[in-house]
Amino acid sequence: MSFLAFLIFGGSVGIISAYLYPKKRLKLKDLLPYGLAGAAISFLVSFFGQTLGLFTSGQILEWSSALLLTILLVACLRALAGK
């Protein structure tokens, strides 16, 4: 995945998962940190997955693992931020 794909894919997944979290809805201006966290999580998943030899760049496993872990970790961040 390229750098631009990390920003677009991870950022949009982070924003969508933070917005759809079942607690109080966030305003659009409050979603920026979750978009940046989503991009960072997507980068880290791809980097460590390729380093450990789990997948190569561009495989569907890379995209799906980045998607699932970004949703999971942004939801955890959202849950911790609410307390």
Q: What is the mean pLDDT of residues 29-56?
A: 89
Q: What is the mean pLDDT of residues 34-40?
A: 89
Q: What is the mean pLDDT of residues 60-83?
A: 86
Q: How confident is the model at residue 83 (pLDDT cuts 50, 70, 90)?
A: low
Per-residue pLDDT tens over the stretch 49-67: 999 999 888 889 988 998 9
Buried b (16+ CB within 10 A) or exposed e, 14-51: bbbbbbebeeeebeeeebeebbebbbbbbbbbbeebee
Residue 48 has pLDDT above 90, yes or no: yes
* Mean of all residue pLDDT scores within the chain: 86
